[in-house]
Each structure stands twice: as structure tokens, then as C-alpha cells.
Structure 1
Amino acid sequence: MRFRQYKFKFYLNARHGIYKNGVLGEVHPHTWEIVINVVKGRDETVKFHHLEHRVEELLNRYQDKTLNEIAPFDMINPTLENMCEYFKDELTEILNRNGWIFLMMEMSESPSMSYVVSLIDDSYTEEMQTINSLTDRILKEIKQSRDVEKKD
């Protein structure tokens, strides 16, 4: 295959309070786990530390802080879903600038439940067109490989 898929895990330690009916609930801590699934070209040199460093730079803005006091969560209710959507957009930019393609992200504030966003959710975006192209290439390579095996 011409592409390799990777999974990265990151952790964010921070506090937040959720607004319900305009009232801020109790501010409490979490260790959020952020898991991203990405694709990189097989022939490309994979510089894991470079990507990890860029993601850590993003997360460090929020590390050990109260999210409600930091943009954009001073204006957006810092629910798990809103946080995941925000970080997905930010991480997709980082990934694209560094030659990676975003596939899926999971974010959890407890071991028993995660919120998931994926390329499938954005079916009309440029990323979906890219993944469709990748899928077509992969399927074509599989077919060619099988055709070669049949000849042997």
C-alpha cells in the first residue's frame, strides 16, 4: 500500500465548568484523552516528534488551566462535544500543514465514554475528497496486486 495509518494519543489536564440554562456549573478537573487517527504517504519520511511537538504546542495553551477563561471557551460552552469539534479543526490545520491527513478523532473525559468526530462527518469537505481519492488508489493497488498474483 502507498499509505500508512497511525494513531496518536495526547492528554490534556484542565478544568472546566459547563453552562446549563445560562448558569455555570461547578468547575472541576479532567484529564482528557485525545486520540487522532491519521494517514501519511508510505514513501514519506515520518517525523513523529515533529507532529507531536506541534500538537503539544496547541494543547499547552490549555494545559493546567480553567478552559472557561481561555478563548474560544470563554465564548463557547466547553462541553466535551464543543471541545472535540474545536480541537479537531485546530488539529486538522496542523496535520495538513505537516503532510498528514486527518481521519478520525476521539476525545474522552472519562474512560467509559468518548465523543468521536471523523472525516465521514464532513462528507462534503475537501478532506473527504482527499480520502475518497486515497481509497480509490488503495483499492486500485489491491486489485493490481491480486491480478499479478493470479498471473503467477
Structure 2
Amino acid sequence: MRYQQYKFKFYMDARHAIYIGGKLGEVHPHTWEIVLHVVKGKENFEPFHVLEKAVEKFLEPFQNNYLNDIKPFDILNPTIENVCLYFKEKLQEILNAMGWIFLMIEMSETPGRTYVISMLDEQEMEQNQTVQTLTDLILDEIKHIGE
């Protein structure tokens, strides 16, 4: 690994049913594993337990519930890809506001199936890249997203 990061794991028990070919499939449960990869930002950042509580608070409405009944999944098909993308967008906002830099989210429905969204552009990663350079690249990308 060419840079240092923190990896936080969270678990969510939730049911969902996905639309395939316009038809709603069977409702089924998962213990979703959510793995967040983050680095400390340049400025002050919140301690680990504050980050963990913020993520748990975000997950609370989904915990032990039927995803299809909860916004945005009441209208958005709750596939692993859509759930992961929505969680990435919301958790990135939360963690960035707390002084953490969001690098990657991994979401698993089962131990053998994981969907990953990464903020890292492999082409921009050089062998000798430092954490500071990586942080600067991500901060610049985040600034441009908000413009």
C-alpha cells in the first residue's frame, strides 16, 4: 500500500427486494457489511468514536428495516450498487464535514459479493506519492464537485 489510511467496518441488518425486468423480486434479508476507507484531513478532525457514532446515526433509519420503504429506495431500486452509491454520497458529506477525507466504500451483501466505489484514480497514483499529496488531490476534487 502506498499511503496510510484508516478502515472502519459497520454492519447493517436490512431487508430489500429488487426490481428485475420490471417485476419486484422476493423480499430477503442481508447483514450488510460497510467498510469505509478514510484519511485524516489537513485541519482538525474528529476522534474515532465521533466518526463511528456519526456513521451509526446515519445507518440507524435503515437498520432492521425494509429498504424499499425508506427514501430514496422507495423510488430507487435498492440494488447493492444503488445502496452503495447513495451511502457513499451521504457518508462522504458527513465525514468530510468532520475533517476526514473519504477514499473508498466497500459494501457487501454476502461474504462473497462486494461492491466498491473508490475516490482514488489509479492513473494519478504514483509509486512515491505521499499521504499529503493524496489528500491534496482528493480535497481539490471535492472542491470542484461543489462548484
TM-score normalised by L of structure 2: 0.78
**Structure 1 equivalent of residue 110 of structure 2:** 110
Structure with more contact order per residue of length (Cα contacts < 8 Å, sep ≥ 6)? 2
What secondary structure does 2:62 align onto?
Answer: coil
Question: Which of structure 1's runs of 4+ aligned residues deviate more than 4 A?
Answer: 41-46
Residue segments in structure 1 that go unaligned for 5+ positions in a row? 124-130, 138-152
Identity of aligned pairs, percent? Answer: 57
2:97 corresponds to which letter in structure 1? R
Aligned-residue CA RMSD in angstroms? 2.6
Distance change >3 Å, CA 111–CA 82, structure 1 → 2: same
Q: CA deviation at 1:41?
A: 4.3
What secondary structure does 2:6 align onto?
Answer: strand
TM-score normalised by L of structure 1: 0.75
CA distance in 2, matches of 1:58, 1:109: 18
**Structure 2 equivalent of residue 147 of structure 1:** none
Residue segments in structure 2 that go unaligned for 5+ positions in a row? 124-129, 137-147
What secondary structure does 1:62 align onto?
Answer: coil
Bigger-Rg structure (1/2): 1
The structure with more helix, counted as a fraction of residues: 1
Which shifted more, 36-45 or 51-60?
36-45
CA contact (8 A) 2:18 2:24 kept: yes
